[in-house]
Amino acid sequence: MDVQDIVNTVSQKAGLDQATTEKVVGTIFSVLEHEAEGTSASFFFAKIPGADALAQKYDVMAAPAGGGGFLSSLQGALGGVLGEKAGALVNGLAALKASGLDMAQIQKAGETLVQQAEAAAGPDLTNQVLGSVPSLKSHLGLG
């Protein structure tokens, strides 16, 4: 199972179009890439071909296009104060909310993404990676 299979399944089960689903999945993977601890994240991404590239395409720590303005400077300041980990989560949640989805849609997409990741990478590895980012789990309604 590769990342496109995951995007297709999340799109179908959460009732989202492909472009929005790709952004949601890529954003969540990017948060995991920045926040997950140790080598478990490397093993996790190695089990899902294309996940790393999608995370980089929707990198939550990349400078916003167009210079950003007040919100990006606030996010940058928060990220600086709280460290990269919190900054990645703040930016990721902002990106998910900016995608126009409500919390129920984000939670359904997150729940389906986790189920698909467990099928691809195994439940133990998936839970280990998610466990290192507990605040993401609670925002996705998984905690």
Mean pLDDT (whole number) for 118-142: 88
Summarize pLDDT for 27-52 with one digit per residue, the tens.
999 999 998 877 789 999 999 999 99
Asked whether residue 14 carries a pLDDT value surpassing 80, the answer given is: yes
pLDDT in the model for residue 28: 94
pLDDT in the model for residue 143: 61
Instruction: Provide the residue range defining the domain that includes 72.
Output: 3-139
Query: Higher confidence at residue 68 or residue 120?
Result: 120
pLDDT in the model for residue 97: 86
Average pLDDT, the chain: 84
Nearest by Cα to 14 from 139, 111, 109:
109
Report whether 115 contacts 18 (CB < 8 A): no
For residues 79-104, one letter each, b for 16 or more C-beta atoms within 10 angstroms of the residue's C-beta and e for the rest, the string is: beeeeebebbbbbbbbbbeebebeee
Summarize pLDDT for 52-109 with one digit per residue, the tens.
999 999 999 886 554 455 455 454 444 444 445 568 888 898 899 888 888 889 999 9
> How many domains does the structure of the chain reveal?
1
pLDDT in the model for residue 86: 63
